């Protein structure tokens, strides 16, 4: 009972501190900019959900805004305390380390979900009726991608002192660069699986990988397989992070 | 000769057994064995001696490469041991946006206290460290001394059996120091083990019942200051003597082989260099009685922590073994060997 209470307190404290952090400000700024882009986009003639998915959600939300929002919250969970020197207080409590990690993970996941799904909704609203229709199709992919990103970036937090820099390097290099490489190398990127889910869900709207060699370049997998992989990755990253955090010394 | 006094018969609250700690190729602690009993134990050593490593091992922040660290019978790394450890770290980090009271109350909740129990315990420890009336100000605006007190308050929240304080007197004003020293003594009097690391050796004289001397990762001496000083029988002891006829006394003392140097201090005082002290003092008593010298003052000048520390540091320098300390092997002997 007291352990559960302490874990919940730790989670709530982490949520409070993350809300009032500069990461939130950065995420808010990015969301505002993309939302303004959506408004401008919606003003340029007749738009349909497929256009919104192709022109806004895939290049701006899935490839950029979503990983950045998750990165902002997930990397500060553990790494923020490490950088500020306050981790020692958490590690001095009689709570098992996996529970401390879980509290931090839950806080980051809660905020990242609110931010990614809330952000998606804001973009949909900003883009008008076409946007709202597209959001209804896209949210399951966003939810699963958020789970995987938070798991991954929180693991980075347990692993690296400068987790934000490592996560940025990952997001910008692996996700963007390798994620757009031809062949199966892009399968190291979470974005790839998110796109596969989106393409399958939006297939009735005619949304598919585009370009003259799209089939050979993108080589999509089925949406259900992509969902399964993202769920397995989320659980795997969480377990990996908890094990690392439980065994690692933080001098 | 060992520099480790026989452990007290009191039950050990914390024990390190053959503990070594490596940072890559660097050995931060080398085969350290010690136990902490109720009371205040000082931890002294130069920079890089391994004090912080020892403290972090004891508080479960680090794991030993070799050996065991146990607190109240539990592995210090495990969460169950943390319930018995209060840790006042040397880092000056807080949740700066909070007030002192909010911070301490939050830490109480992290320790599983909630509701009225958390509030009550928080007020008790704030009162204990003298911060109850100032705890509502934001932590960011606190002086160094106030921040030290808040750190101490959070370490006391769960009434730990072992309280570990890394440089707790840093930045605390003289009056505050006296208060804190009193509080630490009171905590120790409640049967708790208190380990204090400090570079202000003068304070160790007043505070610590036992002292651990660390150098280059090894525990080079341990015990009460008097015990450790007594063990340094190959090192001349400085003694100040004031008497009615200092010249006559000096002439008599000069004949004795335990007196290695005599310095007239003017007036009625002599400064003697004696070795070994154990043989000097009985001889001196006998001489004073036989010759009817009126001894007005007899004071050991270098039995302070600082003097003992200086000597131990000199003796543990590379090359010092052959020149200064004949029993060099026992100087850095395996820890825990009872003193002869």
Between B29 and A161, residue with greater pLDDT: B29
B304 has pLDDT over 50: yes
In whole angstroms, give the CA distance from residue A218 to residue A199: 11
| Residue B269, burial from CB neighbour count under 10 angstroms (0-12, 13-18, 19+) | middle
Write out chain B residues lying below 8 Å of A5, CB-based.
Answer: 109, 112, 114
Closest by CA to B88, choosing from B14, B150, B161, is: B150
* Residue A32: per-residue pLDDT: 94
List CB contacts (< 8 A) between B60 and chain A: 91-92
Helix then strand then coil, in percent of chain B rounded to 5, is 35, 25, 35
Q: Look at A5 and B109 and tell me if their CB atoms are within 8 Å.
A: yes
**What pLDDT sits at residue B198?**
79
Q: Residue B5: which pLDDT band, with cuts at 50, 70 and 90?
A: low
Set of chain A residues whose Cβ sits within 8 Å of the Cβ of B89: 88, 92
Residue B174 is classified by DSSP as H
pLDDT at B200: 67
How many CB atoms within 10 Å of residue A134?
Answer: 30
Any residues with CB less than 8 A from the CB of A204 and at least 6 apart, and which? none
Contacts of B79 in chain A (CB under 8 A): 93-97
CA–CA separation, B197 vs B32, rounded Å? 16
For residue B203, pLDDT beyond 60: yes
pLDDT band at B326 (very low <50, low <70, confident <90, very high): very low
Percent of chain B residues past pLDDT 70, beyond the cut = 84
- Contact state of B56 with A251 under an 8 Å Cβ cutoff: yes
Distance CA B208, CA B165 (A): 13
**Polymer length in residues for chain B:** 340
Cβ of A9 within 8 Å of Cβ of B110? The answer is yes
**Does B290 score more than 60 pLDDT?**
yes
pLDDT over 60 at A193, yes or no: yes
Question: Lowest-confidence range among A200-209, A228-237, B163-172, B319-328?
Answer: B319-328
Cis amide leading into B28 (omega within 30) = no
8 Å CB contact of A94 and B113: no
- Do the Cβ atoms of B92 and A90 come within 8 Å? no
Residue B80 has pLDDT above 60, yes or no: yes
- At residue B337, the pLDDT reads 37
Q: Is A211 on the interface with B (CB under 8 A)?
A: no
pLDDT at A127 over 60: yes
Q: Do A85 and B91 touch (CB under 8 A)?
A: yes
The whole-number pLDDT of residue B322 equals: 41
pLDDT tier at B178, thresholds 50, 70, 90: confident
Of the pLDDT bands very low, low, confident and very high (cuts 50, 70, 90), residue B124 is very high
Please report where in the chains the tokens 């825990």 appear, as a residue.
Answer: B336
Check pLDDT > 80 for residue A182.
Answer: no
Give the C-alpha separation, A15 to A19, whole Å: 6
Instruction: Compare all CA atoms of chain B with the CA of A247 and give the residue at the minimum distance.
Output: B63
A84-88, B2-6, B267-271: least confident range? B2-6
Q: Hey, are the CB atoms on A92 and B93 less than 8 Å from each other?
A: no
Provide, as residue numbers in chain A, all residues whose Cβ is less than 8 Å from the Cβ of B62. Answer: 249, 251
Contact by Cβ (8 Å): A78, A154: yes
Q: Which residues of B touch A (CB under 8 A)?
A: 56, 59-63, 79-80, 82-83, 85, 87, 89, 91-95, 97, 106-107, 109-114, 154-155, 158
Rounded CA Rg of chain B: 23
Among A238-247, B80-89, B178-187, the least confident range: B178-187
pLDDT mean across residues, chain B: 83
Which residue is closest to B82 within chain A, CA to CA? A94
Cα–Cα distance measured from residue A67 to residue A153, given in angstroms and rounded to the nearest whole number: 9
Mean pLDDT of A209-225: 75
| Per-residue tokens: B101 | 């009271």
Residue B316 has pLDDT above 80, yes or no: no
Mean pLDDT of B98-120: 93
Confidence of residue A76 (pLDDT cuts 50, 70, 90): confident
Q: Residue A222 pLDDT > 80, yes or no?
A: yes
User: In this structure, what is the dihedral angle of CA atoms B87, B92, B97, B102, given to the nearest 10 degrees?
Assistant: 30
- Cα–Cα nearest to B149, from B158, B139, B159: B139
pLDDT of B329 above 70: no
pLDDT at position B1 is 43
The answer as to CATH 3.30.70.920 being correct for domain B235-300 is: yes
A199 — phi, psi (to 5°)? -60, -40
What integer pLDDT is reported at residue B173 of this predicted model?
Answer: 77
How much is the average pLDDT of A130-148?
94
Higher pLDDT pick, A218 / A213: A218
- Regarding beta strands B193-197 and B39-44, do their DSSP bridges make them parallel or antiparallel, or are they unpaired? parallel
Q: Tell me yes or no: is domain B14-223 CATH 1.10.3720.10.
A: no
CB contact under 8 A, A88 and B93: yes
- Stretch A225-241: mean pLDDT: 97
* Upper half-sphere CA count for residue A37 (Cβ side, 13 Å): 15
Mean local confidence (pLDDT), A71-93:
91
Task: Tell me what percent of the residues of chain B surpass a pLDDT of 90.
Answer: 41
Q: What is the pLDDT of residue B144?
A: 86
Interface test with B, best of A8, A89, A245 (most B CBs within 10 A): A89
The answer, for A13 touching chain B at a CB cutoff of 8 Å, is: yes
Both tokens assigned to B79:
């969460």
Q: What chain A residue is nearest to B157 in terms of C-alpha separation? A: A93
Q: What angle do CA B89, B94, B100 make, to 5 degrees?
A: 105
Contacts with A17 from chain B: Cβ below 8 Å = 95, 97
Mean pLDDT, chain A, integer: 90
DSSP secondary structure letter of residue B78: S
Site of tokens 């600082």: B306
Instruction: Please list every residue in chain A whose beta carbon sits closer than 8 Å to the beta carbon of residue B152.
Output: none
pLDDT for B318 equals 61
Nearest CA in chain B to A89: B107
Q: Which of A21-35, A145-159, A214-228, B225-239 has the highest mean pLDDT?
A: A145-159
Whether B239 and B301 have beta carbons less than 8 Å apart is answered as yes
Using pLDDT thresholds of 50, 70 and 90, give the confidence band for residue B167.
Answer: confident
DSSP conformation class of B98:
S
Reduce the DSSP state of residue B37 to 3 states and report it: coil
Checking if the pLDDT of B328 tops 50, the result is: no
Q: What mean pLDDT is predicted for residues A164-193?
A: 84
Write the DSSP assignment of B200-251 as a string of letters.
Answer: -HHHHHHH-SEEEEEETTEEEEEE-HHHHHHH-TTSPEEEEEEES-HHHHHH
A3 contact residues in B (CB cutoff 8 A)? 112
**Boundaries of every domain in chain B:** 14-223, 235-300
Distance CA B58, CA B55 (A): 5
The partner residues of B162 in beta bridges, in order of sequence, read B85, B193
Which member of A3, A86, A92 has the closest CB to residue B112? A3
Q: Does A79 score more than 80 pLDDT?
A: yes
Predicted-complex ipTM score: 0.86
Confidence at residue B335, expressed as pLDDT on a 0 to 100 scale: 36
Confidence check: pLDDT of B327 > 50: no
User: In this complex, which of A13, A96, A250 lies closest to B79 when CB atoms are compared?
Assistant: A96
Confidence of residue B67 (pLDDT cuts 50, 70, 90): very high
Measured distance CA(A75)–CA(A21) in Å, rounded: 12
Most confident of the following: B150-159, B256-265, B290-299: B150-159
Antiparallel, parallel or unpaired: β B74-75 and B66-71: antiparallel
Q: In B, which residues are within 8 Å of A88 by CB distance?
A: 61, 87, 89, 91, 93
Query: Residue B312 pLDDT more than 80?
Result: no
Higher pLDDT, A249 or B338: A249
3-class secondary structure per residue, chain A = CHHHHHHHHHHHHHHHHHHCCHHHHHHHHHHHHHHHHHHHHHCCCCCCHHHHHHHHHHHHHHHHHHHHHHHHHHHHHHHHHHHHCCHHHHHCCCCCHHHHHHHHHHHHHHHHHHHHHHHHHHHHHHHCHHHHHHHHHHHHHHHHHHHHHHHHHHHHHHHCCCHHHHHHHHHHHHHHHHHHCCHHHHHHCHHHHHHHHHHHHCHHHCCCCCCCCHHHHHCCCCHHHHHHHHHHHHHHHHHHHHHHHHHCCCC
């Amino acid at each position: 009972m007291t352990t559960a209470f302490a874990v919940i307190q730790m989670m709530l404290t982490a949520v409070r501190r993350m809300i009032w952090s500069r990461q939130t400000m950065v995420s808010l700024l990015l969301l505002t900019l993309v939302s303004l882009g959506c408004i401008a986009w919606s003003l340029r003639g007749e738009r349909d959900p497929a256009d919104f998915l192709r022109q806004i959600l895939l290049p701006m939300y899935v490839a950029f805004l979503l990983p950045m929002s998750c990165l902002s919250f997930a990397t500060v969970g553990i790494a923020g305390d490490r950088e500020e020197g306050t981790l020692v207080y958490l590690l001095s409590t009689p709570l098992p380390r996996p529970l401390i990690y879980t509290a931090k993970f839950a806080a980051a996941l809660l905020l990242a979900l609110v931010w990614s799904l809330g952000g998606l909704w804001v973009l949909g609203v900003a883009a008008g009726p076409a946007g709202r229709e597209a959001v209804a199709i896209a949210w399951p992919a966003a939810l699963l991608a958020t789970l995987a990103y938070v798991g991954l970036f929180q693991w980075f937090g347990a692993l690296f002192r400068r987790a934000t820099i490592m996560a940025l390097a990952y997001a910008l290099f692996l996700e963007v660069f390798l994620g757009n490489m031809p062949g199966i190398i892009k399968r190291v990127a979470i974005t790839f699986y998110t796109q596969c889910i989106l393409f399958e869900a939006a297939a009735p709207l005619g949304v598919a990988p585009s370009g003259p060699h799209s089939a050979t370049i993108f080589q999509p997998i089925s949406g259900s397989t992509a969902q399964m992989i993202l769920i397995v990755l989320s659980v795997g990253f969480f377990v990996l992070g908890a094990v690392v955090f439980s065994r690692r010394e933080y001098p | 000769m060992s520099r480790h006094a026989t452990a007290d018969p009191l039950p050990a609250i914390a024990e390190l057994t053959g503990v070594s700690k490596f940072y890559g190729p660097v050995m931060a602690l080398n085969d350290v064995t010690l136990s902490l009993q109720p009371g205040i134990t000082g931890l002294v050593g130069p920079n890089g001696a391994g004090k912080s490593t020892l403290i972090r091992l004891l508080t479960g922040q680090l794991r030993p490469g070799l050996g065991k660290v146990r607190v109240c019978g539990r592995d210090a790394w495990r969460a169950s041991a943390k319930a018995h450890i209060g840790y006042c770290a040397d880092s000056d980090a807080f949740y700066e946006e909070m007030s002192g009271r909010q911070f301490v109350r939050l830490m109480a909740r992290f320790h599983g206290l909630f509701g009225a129990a958390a509030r009550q315990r928080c007020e008790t420890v704030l009162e204990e460290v003298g911060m109850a009336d100032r705890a509502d100000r934001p932590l960011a605006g606190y002086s160094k001394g106030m921040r030290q007190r808040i750190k101490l308050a959070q370490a006391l929240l769960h009434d730990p059996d072992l309280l570990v304080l890394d440089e707790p007197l840093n930045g605390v004003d003289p009056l505050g120091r006296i208060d804190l020293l009193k509080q630490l003594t009171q905590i120790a009097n409640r049967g708790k083990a208190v380990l204090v690391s400090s570079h202000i050796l003068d304070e160790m004289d007043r505070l610590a019942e036992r002292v651990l001397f660390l150098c280059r990762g090894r525990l080079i001496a341990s015990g009460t200051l008097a015990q450790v000083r007594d063990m340094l029988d190959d090192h001349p002891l400085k003694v100040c003597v004031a008497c009615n006829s200092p010249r006559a006394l000096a002439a008599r003392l000069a004949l004795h082989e335990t007196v290695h140097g005599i310095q007239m201090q003017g007036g009625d005082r002599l400064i003697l260099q004696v070795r070994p002290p154990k043989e000097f003092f009985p001889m001196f008593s006998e001489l004073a009685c036989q010759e009817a010298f009126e001894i007005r003052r007899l004071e050991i000048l270098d039995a302070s922590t600082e003097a003992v520390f200086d000597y131990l540091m000199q003796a543990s320098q590379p090359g010092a073994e052959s020149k200064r300390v004949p029993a060099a092997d026992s100087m850095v002997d395996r820890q825990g060997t009872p003193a002869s």
